[in-house]
Amino acid sequence: MGLLSKKDANLIIDPLTDNNPITIQVLGICSALAITAELKASLVMGIAVLFVLGVGNVVISLMRNIIPSKIRIIVQLIVVATLVIIVDQVLKAFAFELSKTLSVFIGLIITNCIIMGRFEAFALGNGPWKSFLDGIGNALGYAVILIIVGFFRELLGSGTLFGIPVLGDPIEKTGVYATGYENNGFMLMPPMALIIVGLIIWVQRSRNKDLIED
């Protein structure tokens, strides 16, 4: 890593594993889970958050010395809202179907706790470059969980990935379905997203005993 010093690299790598925003910091679950029934929507949501958090962290970090601390929440909200409007308009222009699926959840990125949390905890006290890395790292950590959940829900729920059938045809009974396998429609219901995240937390904490709560 010539470009990044070890400390900077840690800013990106930490949130992916031991300091994951969803499973460890418990931030940003709000808008994450409802859209993970499809892998494609999860991926787009991840990219949207990556953009908003990366750019937003830099903007807040540049302004950190001129924001009066009393009204910082409102300033932060306005910055995020502007960035989210950009994302929303771009999605509506280039991927209208997808923006229909995501509906209000793009708007809910504004109140995504990851974004406010990183602004408060990091961007207000660090320079732009570091804040950018921190934003990218946390957004990636968020996106990874979203993609894992989306992968399992779409695969087990409708037997497809990115809308492409991978397990064979459920009506013609080809592929895996020939052995009597059936899609589990329940995976598409909202509660299963929570249970999958619960299982991810279980796996992660069994592998790393330091993370166990008492």
Partner 1 sequence: MIEHLELFFKSIFIDNMVFAVFLGMCSYLAVSKKVATAVGLGAAVIFVLAITVPLNWLLDQYLLQPGALSWLDPEYGIGGSQEMDLGFLSFIMFIATIATMVQLVEIVVEKFSPSLYNSLGIFLPLIAVNCAILGGSLFMQSREIETLGLALNYGVSSGIGWFLAILAIAAIREKIRYSNVPAPLRGLGITFIITGLMGIGFLSFGGMLTGGDEEGEPSTEAAINTNDLKIEDAKELADNTKIVK
Identify whether the C-beta of residue 60 lies closer than 8 Å to the C-beta of residue 6: no
| Residue of 42, 57, 61, 112 interacting with partner 1 (CB under 8 A) | 112
Backbone angles phi, psi at 156, to 5 degrees: -80, -25
Note whether 31 binds partner 1 by CB under 8 A: yes
Q: How far apart are CA 16 and CA 11, in angstroms?
A: 9
Residue 33 is a binding residue for partner 1 (CB under 8 A): yes
- CA dist 118 → 62, 103, 115, 141, 205 (Å): 14, 25, 5, 13, 23
How many residues sit close enough to partner 1 to count as binding (CB under 8 A)? 49
Minimum Å distance from CB 191 to partner 1?
3
Q: How far is the CB of 128 from partner 1 (least distance, A)?
A: 23
Minimal distance, residue 115 CB to partner 1, in Å: 9
CB-nearer residue toward partner 1: 21 or 177: 21
153 near 187, Cβ under 8 Å? yes
185 binds partner 1 (CB under 8 A): no
> 3-class SS at 176?
helix
- State which residue, 12 or 147, has the beta carbon closest to partner 1: 147
The mark string for 70-109 relative to partner 1 (x by CB under 8 A, - otherwise) is ---xx--xx--xx-xx--xx-------------xx--xx-
Phi, psi of 165 (to 5 degrees): -65, 125
Q: Contact 123/129 with Cβ under 8 angstroms?
A: no
Q: What is the dihedral of CA 98, 99, 104, 105, to 10 degrees?
A: 60
* Segment lying near partner 1 (by CB under 8 A), choices 4-12, 48-56, 177-185, 188-196: 188-196
Q: Which of 10, 101, 111, 160 binds partner 1 (CB under 8 A)?
A: 111
Non-local CB neighbours of 173 within 8 Å, separated by 6+ positions: none
Residues of this chain that interact with partner 1 (CB under 8 A) are: 23, 26-34, 73-74, 77-78, 81-82, 84-85, 88-89, 103-104, 107-108, 110-113, 116, 189-195, 197-199, 201-206, 211-214
